[in-house]
Amino acid sequence: MGAVKLEAIAGILFDKDGTLLDYDASWLPVNRELASIAAEGDAALADHLLSACGMDPVTGHIVPDSLLAAGNTRQISEGLVAAGSKVNVAELTEKLDALFSHAADFSSPVTDLAAFFRRLHERGYKLGVASSDNERSIRQTARRFGFLDYVDYIAGYDSGFGTKPEPGMVLGFAKATGLAPGQIAVVGDNNHDLHMGQSAGVGLKVGVLTGTGSRESLAAASDYCLNDITELESLLPAAQPA
């Protein structure tokens, strides 16, 4: 990839979990709790549900692009019910959305997010967050870690822009910021993020290794694969003035 394409980037749309937040530290305990809720306290069923949705109940390993890695709350609830949960999908979705919103209070950032977003904002970039989590959880995370004031756009699975890997969240960011898709970089830890960017025609697709993906699983769909989001700062030049 040449410098011309990097120079064109004026906006960055981040995934949340596994990208801004360290996935293992933030979500492995939450996944165990969601399985317990879906299993109504049956420990053996909870382990089965975790396995069915992509997490090894013993090691905590998450299968890249599995339901727990990339699904939204409704999709995870449907998968849990299909795997044997007796809880109604609508009721389970409501309970898991509440769990995920509460989980924002215990999540672990991959870096000082307030300082990171401030630096990118000061360099002229438009910034957004697009997550398969609910919008309330994203806003709670942004407030908790002090970067809400630097974000131009937030989209969750329930914000009306569609779900990943559809292009709607990216196109919503483009509309909100006045940017063309080719001026946008999408940054995420799994292929749902990168395929969303591809389908929207973004200028840059960046994978990061702080989530459920690996260099191998992200290679085909990403232009760059970074250890974490902080490496973006040296990769991208200052955005050009509008």
Task: Reply yes or no: is the peptide bond before residue 29 cis, omega within 30 of 0.
Answer: no
* Residue ranges of E strands in the chain: 11-14, 126-130, 153-155, 184-188, 204-208, 224-226
d(CA 183, CA 179): 6
At position 202, the amino acid (one-letter code) is V
d(CA 30, CA 36): 10
- How confident is the model at residue 207, as a pLDDT? 98
- How confident is the model at residue 239, as a pLDDT? 58
Contact 206, 161 (CB under 8 A): no
Of 153, 15, 25, 24, nearest in space to 72 by CA: 15
List C-alpha distances in Å: 78 to 50, 73, 164. Answer: 13, 9, 16
- How confident is the model at residue 161, as a pLDDT? 98
Contact 87, 81 (CB under 8 A): yes
d(CA 4, CA 119): 22
d(CA 28, CA 88): 23
Written as tens digits, the pLDDT of the chain (242 aa) is 444 489 999 999 999 999 999 999 999 999 999 999 999 999 999 999 999 999 999 999 999 999 999 999 999 999 999 999 999 999 999 999 999 998 888 899 999 999 999 999 999 999 999 999 999 999 999 999 999 999 999 999 999 999 999 999 999 999 999 999 999 999 999 999 999 999 999 999 999 999 999 999 999 999 999 999 999 999 998 755 45
- How far is C-alpha 242 from the geometric centre of its chain's CA atoms? 28
- How confident is the model at residue 240, as a pLDDT? 56
**Domains along the chain with CATH numbers:** 3-22+109-235 (3.40.50.1000), 26-106 (no CATH)
Of 102, 65, 109, nearest in space to 214 by CA: 65
